[in-house]
């Protein structure tokens, strides 16, 4: 295959470390007039245009974006494909919300045609919002995951997904059995895990909807294949936490249920964790597990405020999740807008560079994919965005007053949304153009 080499010139910003570990100034690289060179879907060079241009052949194709910022693609570490059609469902908190809206909506995915239609809409929405990698819950039906992976594969996206396992405390029309969930997950793993840029996640919905037998088999699957992911929910809502104590009285607490069934580990991502205690954060960190911070969902469902400083104290890996349809936006920019407010309500700060980290490199680290995505380092996948400073009249006017990249970044995260994402590139291919 001939080498395809292209270059992109614009302001360029990426996170290179966690500001909580190295301080803000050492956490990012910014090139006011930068150049990103892409060879066959991978980044081959990044630097100041003035320095890099001289090293490139005269006939190289250079796309110059004015009034724009190139960043790595965003990483959503928690989202539900089959809840696309029920975002913004009124009036309930978690457990009633699941019964009233979520389960009926997810039941539609028994129909293959419906699953394919929604998978197409969902992936388009991710890319319109600049999300190039997501950790995705399917429904209980394997066809939801097949439809998603087929659509993602066509665009060569790096995506992770799994079929929900749930064999109790949900309507009869939506449950599997411990054995069927094991066999169906296994078939999906064999078909998709490690194919191109796709990965499989074993997906027990949450402790209340799995029997001990099902949790045992989920743990067994993780032992049977290398590099599998595990995703579930934890300590999102106080009623939920109490219910888990009633269902598993022999365990020390919510996290201990998952620990007992060997579901913690370096590729395990626990959504929410709003009501985790100090010991649980320590145990998550000790096992290399990660938490998905989902601020729009936590506010919308009235779940509570995630304690990011406590997670940082334990050096716990944290990514950002939209948690659509409990969350209200596919946009990680809007998710950061709400994350900032969640910190404000706790008397804490979320700096724009920590926010950038959470949406990119932090997410990649939570998923153990930092060698491939989350930065613009040469040698990584060319998954990147072009953010448009003139996306809306207000953004344009506001950014003209900006005196620094820190201010520009913060305003992008406060006022920005899908309109801000002018182009999305995945593996060097243009996969969304506004």
Asked whether 72 and 374 are in contact (CB, 8 A), the reply is yes
Strands 61-72, 5-15: pairing kind: parallel
Q: Which does 367 bind (CB under 5 to 8 A by kind): ligand GUN, Zn ion, none?
A: none
Q: Which of residues 290-309 bind ligand GUN (CB under 6 A)?
A: 297
Contacts to Zn ion from residues 347-386, by CB under 5 A = none
236 binds, among ligand GUN, Zn ion, none (CB under 5 to 8 A by kind): ligand GUN
Strand partners, 45: 37
Upper half-sphere CA count for residue 206 (Cβ side, 13 Å): 23
Whether the CB-CB separation of 429 and 381 falls below 8 Å is answered with no
The secondary structure element, H or E, covering residue 388 is strand 384-388
Smallest gap, in angstroms, from Cβ of residue 270 to ligand GUN?
Answer: 11
| Number of residues assigned to the chain | 434
- Minimum CB distance to ligand GUN smaller for 334 or for 360: 334
Shortest Å distance, C-beta 298 to ligand GUN: 9
Which residues touch 99 (CB under 8 Å, ≥6 apart)? none
Binding mask 223-262 for ligand GUN (x = CB under 6 A): ----------x--x--------------------------
Closer to ligand GUN by CB, 205 or 365: give it.
205
Three-class SS of residue 120? helix
106 binds Zn ion (CB under 5 A): no
Number of H helices, E strands in the chain: 18, 16
- Looking only at residues 51 through 90 of this chain, which bind ligand GUN when binding is defined by CB under 6 A? 80
Sign of CA dihedral 241, 161, 165, 248: negative
Cβ neighbours around 350 below 10 Å, total: 19
Is 102 one of the binding residues for ligand GUN (CB under 6 A)?
yes
Residue closest to Zn ion, measured at CB: 323
Window 193-212: contact mask with ligand GUN (x via CB under 6 A) = ------------xx------
Q: Which is nearer to Zn ion, 255 or 415 (by Cβ)?
A: 255
Separation of alpha carbons 182 and 178, rounded Å: 6
375: Cβ contacts below 8 Å, ≥ 6 apart: 14, 15, 16, 72, 360, 361, 364
Q: How far is the CB of 275 from ligand GUN (least distance, A)?
A: 13
Contact present, 110 and 82 (Cβ < 8 Å) = no
> CB 81 → Zn ion: shortest distance, Å?
11
The strand pairing partners of 61, in sequence order, are: 6
Q: Which is nearer to Zn ion, 80 or 283 (CB)?
A: 80
Based on CB atoms, which residue is closest to ligand GUN, 65 or 206?
A: 206
**H or E segment to which residue 433 belongs:** strand 429-433
Q: Residue 12 CA to chain centroid, in angstroms?
A: 22
What is the Cα–Cα distance from 181 to 207, expressed in whole angstroms? Answer: 15
Select 214 or 420, whichever has its Cβ closest to ligand GUN.
214
Residue spans of beta strands (DSSP E) within 283-334: 290-293, 317-320
Q: If binding is defined by CB under 6 A, does position 141 make contact with ligand GUN? A: no
- Which residue, 236 or 338, has its beta carbon nearer to ligand GUN? 236
- Compose the 314-343 pattern: x for residues touching Zn ion by CB under 5 A, - for all others: ---------x--------------------
Burial of 91 per CB tally in 10 Å (0-12, 13-18, 19+): exposed
Given the rule CB under 6 A, which of 37-45, 94-102, 115-123, 337-345 is the region that contacts ligand GUN?
94-102
Q: Examine residue 240 and tell whether it contacts Zn ion (CB under 5 A).
A: no
Q: Closest separation between CB of residue 327 and Zn ion, Å?
A: 8
Residues near ligand GUN, by CB under 6 A? 80, 94, 98, 102, 205-206, 233, 236, 297, 323, 326
Residues near Zn ion, by CB under 5 A? 271, 323
């Amino acid at each position: 295959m001939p080498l395809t080499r292209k270059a992109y010139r614009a302001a360029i910003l990426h996170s290179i470390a966690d500001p909580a570990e190295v301080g803000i100034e050492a956490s990012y690289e910014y090139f006011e007039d930068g150049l990103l060179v892409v060879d066959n879907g991978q980044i081959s060079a990044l630097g100041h245009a003035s320095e890099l241009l001289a090293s490139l052949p005269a006939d190289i194709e250079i796309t110059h974006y004015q009034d724009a910022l190139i960043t790595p693609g965003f990483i959503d570490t928690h989202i539900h494909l089959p809840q696309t059609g029920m975002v913004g469902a009124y009036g309930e908190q978690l457990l009633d919300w699941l019964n009233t809206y979520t389960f009926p909506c997810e039941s539609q995915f028994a129909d293959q045609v419906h699953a394919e239609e929604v998978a197409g809409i969902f992936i388009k929405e991710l890319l319109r919002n600049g999300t190039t990698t997501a950790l995705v819950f399917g429904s209980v039906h394997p066809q939801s995951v097949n439809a998603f992976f087929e659509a993602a594969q066509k665009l060569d996206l790096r995506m992770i997904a799994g079929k929900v396992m749930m064999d109790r405390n949900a309507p009869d029309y939506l449950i599997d059995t411990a054995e069927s969930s094991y066999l169906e997950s296994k078939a999906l793993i064999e078909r998709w895990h490690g194919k191109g840029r796709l990965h499989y996640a074993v997906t027990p919905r949450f402790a209340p909807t799995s029997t001990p037998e099902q949790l045992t088999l989920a743990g067994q699957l993780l032992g049977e294949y290398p590099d599998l992911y595990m995703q579930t929910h934890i300590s999102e809502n106080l009623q939920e936490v109490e219910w888990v104590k009633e269902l598993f009285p022999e365990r020390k607490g919510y996290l201990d249920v998952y620990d007992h069934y060997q579901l913690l580990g370096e590729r395990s991502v626990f959504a929410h964790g709003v009501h985790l205690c100090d010991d649980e954060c320590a145990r998550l960190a000790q096992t290399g597990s990660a938490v998905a911070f989902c601020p729009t969902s936590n506010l919308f469902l009235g779940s509570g405020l995630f304690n990011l400083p406590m997670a940082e104290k334990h050096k716990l890996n944290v990514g950002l999740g939209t948690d659509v349809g409990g969350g209200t936006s596919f946009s990680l920019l809007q998710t950061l807008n709400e994350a900032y407010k969640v910190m404000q309500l706790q008397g804490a700060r979320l700096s724009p560079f920590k926010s950038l980290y959470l949406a990119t490199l932090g997410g990649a680290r939570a998923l153990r994919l930092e060698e491939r995505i989350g930065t613009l380092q040469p040698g990584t996948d060319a998954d990147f965005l072009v953010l448009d400073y003139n996306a809306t009249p207000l953004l344009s006017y506001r950014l003209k007053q900006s005196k620094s990249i820190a201010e520009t970044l913060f305003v992008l995260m406060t006022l920005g949304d899908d309109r801000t994402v002018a182009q999305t590139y995945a593996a060097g291919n243009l996969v969304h153009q506004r």
